[in-house]
Amino acid sequence: MTATTSTAPVLLNTAAELSAYAPEGRRAVVMTMGALHEGHASLIRAARAHAGPAGQVVVTVFVNPLQFGEAADLDRYPRTLDADLAVAGAAGADVVFAPSVDEVYPGGEPQVRISAGPMGERLEGASRPGHFDGMLTVVAKLLHLTRPDTAFFGQKDAQQLALIRRMARDLNFPVEIAGVETVREPDGLALSSRNRFLDTHERRTALALSRALFAARDRLAAQTALHARAQATGATEDRAAGLNRLGEARL
């Protein structure tokens, strides 16, 4: 069965419902924990363009308890399903798959999980032990449940994207993992569902990172351009010297 693009996506809550809603064409999936914003919308639009009119775009909304170190963080994570349906539909989603915890983990907390390995112990993983194991476990589960041809993830979470790609390659998942460029707020802060929790001081602190990255990018670009000009100038001078030597040899 193929869904048509509309501003009112079909809401499904079980794996059986999703299985019965199989598309005629390609299926693209965007995995989220809800609280959708323009960054998620850009992923959904990319998925829509990839799937085409005969394909199907599925947006998953699932707050994964395995990714939270403390119960308080899990409890305060925003849950805005009605608003999420509107954002997903406007961006081109056909289906919103919002399973319960029991639907995703029917046997309770899983005893067997995906390990992120050494890649998951560095950078963000160093301060969030176990986070990437939980993330990869739920991504693997949702890939099995949704069975997409392509899954779209934001480049904002670069380490997460790298780990998902490595998992798909190492475990032979028959899916293409596509990265989509980061969407930023006017002041340069990457869009995130958690930005609402930042106070003024924390927001300024967060902006220092993006500003430093942009400054490094611009400096590298300037140095690369300068190096290219220097090489071009040197090549021109070498060619002129070579022609002069050739002319002298003919005299």
Q: Quote the tokens at residue 168.
A: 């798909």
Residue 70 has pLDDT above 80, yes or no: no
- Range of weakest confidence among 36-40, 223-227, 228-232: 228-232
**Catalytic residue check, 40:** yes
Mean pLDDT of the 137-159 span: 97
Residue 231 has pLDDT above 60, yes or no: yes
Q: Quote the tokens at residue 188.
A: 């340069």
Q: In angstroms, rounded to a whole number, what is the distance separating the alpha carbons of residues 75 and 60?
A: 19
Residue 40 has pLDDT above 90, yes or no: yes
Q: Which of 37, 40, 50, 201 is catalytic?
A: 40
Mean pLDDT of the 34-59 span: 97
Residue 51 has pLDDT above 80, yes or no: yes
Mean pLDDT of the 129-146 span: 96
Residue 6 has pLDDT above 60, yes or no: no
Report the predicted TM-score, pTM, of the whole model to 2 decimal places.
0.82
Q: Confidence class of residue 195 from pLDDT cuts 50, 70 and 90? A: confident
